[in-house]
Amino acid sequence: MLFCPTCGKNYPAGVQYCPSDQTALRAETTVVGEQIADPLIGETLDQKYLIEGRLGIGGMGTVYRARHVLIDRAVAVKVLNQRFFEDEAARVRFQREAKAAGRLHHQNAVAVTDFGQTAEGYVYIVMELLEGKTLREILTKEAPLETARAVALMLQASAAVEAAHDAGVIHRDLKPANIFVTKRSDVPAVVKVLDFGIAKLAADSLDEDEPNTLTQVGAMIGTPRYMSPEQCNGVDLTSASDVYSLGVILYEMLTGVVPFTGSTPLAIAIKHAQDLPQPPRELVPTIPEDLERLVLHALAKQPEDRPANAAAFRMELLKIADRLGLEHSAVTVIPDLDALRGAGVESPSGRLVIDIARLRETGLFSSGNNEITVIGDRSIPQKENEKPSPGPIRRVNIDVPRRANRFLLAAVLFAVLLFVGIGFVAVWLMSERNPAPANVNTSASPAASPSQTVVASPSPTSHRQPSPSPSPSPTKKKESKVGSIVNKVKRILTKPF
């Protein structure tokens, strides 16, 4: 059984190189009895860095988790492997990695804080301790990535390479294993470019004591699947070589595969130099055409046919991201208050609700949410001609007039209508309970009815039969004004049409 010293995966005996990182496989050693513990764990380097555990093993060094005993801060310490103690070229290259990374002061490049050598001969580099996953681990489980996510990661990685090119450093070993994606609960993911172990300094910044053997013409150094054609041929490199590697990484993020593979590093190198890559849209049709053109532009065989450096590559990627409306952290234009008002709708409470889709159409803002509520804070008045502070926009304080007079007038009108309506209802209810009495004429006619007769009774006392009351003459009922209004309201309510 063979294993990869870089990623630690096991492979059968017929495989010579790791398919993930093209590292030469090694045979596993048979351990009899207890395994020998790492002698550095528990030791303190230069009386400052207490080694707490091992994080990983690389080609030239081993990375440990350590703690600065004086300030009680967790750090990462990379120690040169013991087999290189007597190798002067390896020691100089290790020191050059510290110098190359130390030149960079960028949020997307790993920060190197110290370099030293102990009395026992251990050479070490102290770096910031990162928490998260490498891009290789992410691609192994999730490739291909969504277009927006791939572009966002590449924008940050290319920003670090751009800073390296500005400092006169060519990385020469860009690959997913050397791109780290931090993950914290309180901040968005941040990309960090690692491992400047084989970085090459520009010709005008070479140290006088640097051995020429480190950059000999004809030496193929790097990871074959991500190397440029000129790097495979062992010729002098420019910043365009790193652009080619960025193009390979973006190709893999979008499609899930690298453009060229082979059974041996030499076979892969020949394909890089001679074969044309398969267009990404043939593998994933949903990839935007503009993004495919950029990838193929970065994978051009000749260095002069690619973007000259990481800055030019990143600028093209930024323009594509803005045209497609993709989310990214590189917001180059901050919208002013007029632009926010033009893309928002004012609510009755005085808040300005911004439609991010409409704001994207103007190319002024990009965010991860579908809408953002902007609240006017009246407790802190804004000064005249005060410009908004630059930075990522999460909540913007905008003083929006509440139009109190209009709302007060509407409230008064509503109260009057309600009072009148209540009055009509009250009158109607009273008329239903106490109906008006009919006007009846109760006065009797002075003339007696002809049918009235006096009947003599045989008894000594006479009895007169009462005569019926005369029928009153019909008279028309006279309605009051209030009753007339009530009747009209009732007719309207019963038959509105």
In a 13 Å sphere around the CA of 186, the CA atoms on its Cβ side amount to 0
Q: Clarify whether residues 169 and 311 are in a common domain.
A: yes
Residue 95 main-chain phi, psi, to 5 deg: -65, -35
Judge contact between 112 and 102, C-beta under 8 A: yes
Q: Clarify whether residues 306 and 175 are in a common domain.
A: yes
Q: Clarify whether residues 91 and 157 are in a common domain.
A: no
Higher pLDDT, 309 or 475: 309
Q: Clarify whether residues 58 and 146 are in a common domain.
A: no
In CATH, what number is assigned to the domain containing residue 66? Answer: 3.30.200.20
Give the residue numbers spanning the domain of 64.
42-129
Looking at the 3D structure of the chain, how many domains does it have?
A: 2
- Is 306 part of a structural domain of the chain? yes
- Is 496 part of a structural domain of the chain? no
Q: 144: cis peptide before it, omega within 30°?
A: yes
Active site residues: 173
> Of 72, 94, 129, which residue is a domain's last?
129
Confidence of residue 445 (pLDDT cuts 50, 70, 90): very low
**CA-CA-CA-CA torsion sign (276, 280, 283, 289):** negative
The string of pLDDT tens digits covering residues 171-206 is 888 999 999 999 876 667 899 998 775 555 443 343
Judge contact between 153 and 203, C-beta under 8 A: no
Q: Clarify whether residues 178 and 275 are in a common domain.
A: yes
Q: Clarify whether residues 117 and 162 are in a common domain.
A: no
**Mean pLDDT score, 242-253:** 97
**CA-CA-CA-CA torsion sign (356, 357, 363, 369):** positive
The string of pLDDT tens digits covering residues 288-307 is 999 999 999 999 999 999 99
